[in-house]
């Protein structure tokens, strides 16, 4: 974004200027960026870029307005939001989205199995000739499933010592990324159910304890 504004101002780019504009791993590619940004925009290209940046700014403002509205409407859920956010995988926006779908009263679900079945995270099985084959999960609540999937994908490359991370990588090796995501979504929803039912913060289990538990 800052680079694009600098392009509109017809700046010539050198290493010192770009080091002030780029962040993170992009800093390693400053020489390539300098080469890519050589040249001059035509007036038509500059107009198009200016309009695109204005539109982007408008969208960002609208998103900020919507986030303020969501926060205002979810104020009464704050204790439950804080509770869910004790889990490293759940940020505030995700917590609000989850609670907007399942509520805070888990007594409406006879058991945790009913909750993840309702969410569409209960795997179906086809049985043929005495052999069970895993099938697709039910449709369930697409909004809840989507936000849980985002949570899992956000830490899928993490090396954090966590039962969710450990479970994800273990299943991914055997059954692939998508099945690992669904399995960990289910594990997260189970944790959420008990956190809300018991009004307890998330209790982490390290990878070492997960391995020890499996051996037992």
- Asked if 137 and 123 touch (Cβ cutoff 8 Å), the reply is yes
pLDDT confidence of residue 137: 57
Using DSSP's 3-state secondary structure scheme, residue 128 falls into strand
Q: How far apart (Å, rounded) are the C-alpha atoms in residues 213 and 203? A: 15
Check the CA dihedral 137-100-151-59 and report its sign: positive
Half-sphere exposure at residue 64, Cβ-oriented, CA atoms within 13 angstroms: 6
Distances (CA, A) of 209 to 161, 163, 166, 189: 10, 9, 11, 21
Domain ranges of the chain: 2-72, 77-215
pLDDT per residue rounded down to tens, the chain (216 residues) = 677 887 777 666 666 777 778 777 778 888 888 787 777 778 898 899 899 999 999 999 999 999 999 999 999 999 999 999 999 999 999 999 999 999 999 999 999 999 989 998 876 554 444 454 555 556 788 999 999 999 999 988 877 778 899 899 999 999 999 999 999 999 999 999 999 999 999 988 755 555 555 554
Q: pTM of the prediction?
A: 0.75
| Those residues with Cβ within 8 angstroms of residue 182's Cβ, 6 or more apart along the chain or in another chain | 121, 123, 137
pLDDT confidence of residue 127: 43
């Amino acid at each position: 974004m800052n680079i694009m504004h600098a392009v509109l101002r017809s700046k010539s780019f050198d290493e010192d200027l770009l080091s002030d504009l780029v962040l993170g791993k992009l800093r390693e590619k400053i020489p390539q960026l300098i080469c890519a940004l050589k040249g001059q925009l035509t007036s038509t290209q500059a107009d198009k870029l200016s309009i695109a940046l204005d539109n982007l700014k408008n969208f960002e403002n609208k998103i900020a307005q919507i986030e303020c509205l969501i926060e205002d409407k979810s104020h009464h859920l704050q204790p439950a939001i804080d509770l869910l956010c004790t889990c490293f995988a759940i940020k505030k926006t995700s917590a609000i989205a989850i609670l907007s779908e399942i509520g805070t009263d888990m007594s409406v679900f006879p058991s945790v199995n009913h909750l993840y079945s309702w969410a569409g995270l209960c795997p179906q099985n086809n049985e043929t000739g005495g052999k069970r084959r895993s099938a697709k999960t039910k449709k369930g609540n697409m909004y809840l499933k989507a936000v849980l999937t985002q949570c899992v994908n956000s830490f899928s490359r993490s090396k954090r010592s966590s039962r969710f991370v450990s479970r994800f990588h273990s299943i991914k090796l055997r059954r692939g990324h998508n099945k690992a995501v669904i399995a960990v979504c289910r594990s997260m929803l189970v944790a959420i159910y008990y956190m809300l039912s018991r009004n307890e913060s998330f209790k982490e289990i390290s990878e070492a304890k997960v391995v020890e538990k499996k051996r037992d």
